[in-house]
Structure 1
Amino acid sequence: MALAVAALGAVAGCGSSDNGTPPAAAGGTVAVVATTPEVADFARNVGGDAVTVTQIIKPNVDPHEYEPTPADIQAIGKAALVVKNGVGLEEWLDQTIESAGFTGTVVDTSQGVALRKGDPGDEEMADGDPHIWHNPRNAKVMAENIEKALVAADKGHADTFRANFQAYAAKLDKLDADNERKFAALPADQRKLVTNHDAFGYYIDRYQLQFVGSVIPSLDTSAELSAKQLQDLVAKIKATGTKAIFSESSLPPKAAEAIARQAGVKVVGGEDALYGDSLGPEGTPQGTYLGAEEHNTDTIVAALGA
């Protein structure tokens, strides 16, 4: 990764204009680079027509394994703001920013979010669980961090950014209330979740679900189940009466399907796959944070309540 980023640095643009002010995108809008689909969606909702957002990681691309491209380097070099998820999700970003010669503001949207911590020896949780957006209350904190950064970058549109944030915060509150209502209709002993990887901790905590296990036993999608872990997961699925394994849109379903066969349960996948690390295709309802999270809840409730 280090060599790849260093090589790409040769194509980087300048991080500020000639007079030292943050660069602007076409039409005088604030040039924003956002790392993940989720934070890019927050930035678009808060910024509205006053920002131009370049999204680095495309839908259904695994953020844990991402490597920057020359286009990413160029976009960062020309940006006023770089918006990231934080909590160690974008391990590649710091070196990429350095290679781009970026002199603008980095917005860590995780600031102020109460992080889930793992055991002291859990390297994957050294910074905390990065999947913070799966609790809509955290998403509101993330969006507010973006609002504050945009106000600081472009005071002329401060009222617009504040109004956009308030409108979007109301939608996040509604999503949260709708999720609570839907899970309240599902008996507590049926709220058992097995997913492709351990991405839904904040969601599980928020809506009081039981996490039975994951096909990939880690926050990082590069980990693999050992033979014993596989046997233990199958046994736990059977013992708990878990009804389904939920695959994820950005991960292949084969391992989930194999475990489901051994455990005698169904796999929820295909168009019903959950959005764990990504959003859906651009232009679809699931291509937005609100739509993807609504899809996840509706899919889980339907599968577990059937």
Structure 2
Amino acid sequence: MTHPRRTAPPGSAPARPWLTPLLCLLLLLGISGCAGESHGRPRVVVTTNILGDITRNIVGDEAEVTVLMRPHADPHSFGISAPQAASLERADLVVYNGLGLEENVLRPVEAARAAGVATLAVAEGVDPLGYGPGESADALDPHFWTDPERVAKAVDLIAGQVVEHVPGVDASAVGKNADAYSAKIGELTVRMEEEFGRIPPRKRQLVTNHHVFGYLAQRFGFRIVGAVIPSGTTLASPSASDLKSLADAIEKAGVTAVFADASQPDRLAQVLRRESGIDVDIVPLFSESLTAKGEGAATYLEMMRANTAAITAGLSTG
């Protein structure tokens, strides 16, 4: 017996028996994708590019690390966009230098902390130094990274905070990364001691664009003669009397080189040389920012090796 053939009602689409399972599959994929967008990878946001490089070596593949400061930027004056400020409040951990270094970024960092985001002010936890004469008595120097031994302390601090506050990271992997990077920092310290050992003690005297090498001076036995900008920030300006006092100190100490930050114009150091008539070399250093890859200081370790070579060459001659 034959059955009459069923036809679809007028205006309706023909039946597709495979459609229902396909829709179910697409629905499941959509749910999975939405869940991934909702949670995403754990995220660490870092303010400066020097700390960004250090943090990336510690975190490895365990989390996404976002660095706000671009290569060659000045940490005292760089700013961030509204979306970058918002990203701080979506982070699992914010790593920043502290002690007033990132002057234009501190407010967004404080807003993230108020919103419940874990934050780490690294410089505050590495036994910071005072600036000494020329700054207020209670001012602490934020430029700790010029001392590799303090950077080793920073590695331990950052690793501990990553394990504690960033969800889903493998504590063992973070620990291994931190240990491996600390070993490289130890090698850097030995290399710096060996190279600086070639500088006669009487010539271990530093004049810089601003007060940035106090930690290096303490660690490796240098004396800070002065700075073209007699301040811990590049946002200050020297007076004529400041330049005259520094020129007198340079002549008295027999200094032969002034070290200017490579990411900033060396105009002030050139003015010092021209106005005072003293004969000094202007030697560029990578003091406060990393560079892009291939430009001499793309990583913290590369920056410190380059600075060590430049300081040694600048003070060993003459």
Change (3 A) 1:202 1:146: same
Between the aligned partners of 1:260 and 1:94, the Cα distance in structure 2 is 35
Aligned to 1:209: 222
Between the aligned partners of 2:132 and 2:217, the Cα distance in structure 1 is 18
1:292 equivalent in alignment to 2:303: yes
Change (3 A) 1:237 1:58: same
List aligned pairs for 1:69-80, cutoff 5 A: 69-80=81-92
Aligned to 2:100: 88
Contact 2:46/2:66 (8 A) holds in 1:
yes
State the SS of the aligned residue for 1:245: strand
Residue-by-residue CA offset, 1:281-300 (whole Å, 9 max, x unaligned): 24555110000011111001
Amino acid at match of 2:155: A
Decide which of 244, 263, 273 is 2:278's aligned counterpart: 263
Change (3 A) 1:260 1:172: same
Aligned to 2:25: none
Asked which structure has the greater CA Rg, the reply is 2
1:164 equivalent in alignment to 2:181: no
State the SS of the aligned residue for 2:285: coil
State the SS of the aligned residue for 1:195: strand
Change (3 A) 1:199 1:119: closer
Decide which of 225, 229, 246 is 1:233's aligned counterpart: 246
List aligned pairs for 1:271-286, cutoff 5 A: 273-282=284-293, 284-286=295-297
Contact 2:134/2:231 (8 A) holds in 1:
no
Aligned to 1:10: none
Contact 1:81/1:104 (8 A) holds in 2:
yes
Amino acid at match of 2:279: G
Tell me the percent identity. 33
Aligned to 1:3: none
Amino acid at match of 1:265: V
Change (3 A) 1:121 1:212: closer
List aligned pairs for 1:26-41, cutoff 5 A: 28=41, 30-41=42-53
Contact 2:123/2:144 (8 A) holds in 1:
yes
Decide which of 51, 69, 78 is 1:66's aligned counterpart: 78
Structure 1 residues without counterparts, runs of 5 or longer: 1-18
1:111 Cα deviation (Å)? Answer: 4.3
Residue-by-residue CA offset, 1:261-293 (whole Å, 9 max, x unaligned): 32111111xxxx211211122455511000001
List aligned pairs for 1:90-105, cutoff 5 A: 90-97=102-109, 99=111, 102-105=115-118
Amino acid at match of 2:76: H
1:182 equivalent in alignment to 2:195: yes
What is the RMSD computed on CA atoms of the aligned residues? 2.3
List aligned pairs for 1:103-142, cutoff 5 A: 103-118=116-131, 122-123=135-136, 126-142=138-154
Q: How many residues align?
A: 278
Aligned to 2:57: 45
Between the aligned partners of 2:267 and 2:189, the Cα distance in structure 1 is 32
TM-score by length of 1: 0.84
TM-score by length of 2: 0.81
Between the aligned partners of 1:234 and 1:36, the Cα distance in structure 2 is 33
1:145 equivalent in alignment to 2:160: no
State the SS of the aligned residue for 2:140: coil
Contact 1:24/1:31 (8 A) holds in 2:
no
Between the aligned partners of 1:126 and 1:88, the Cα distance in structure 2 is 13
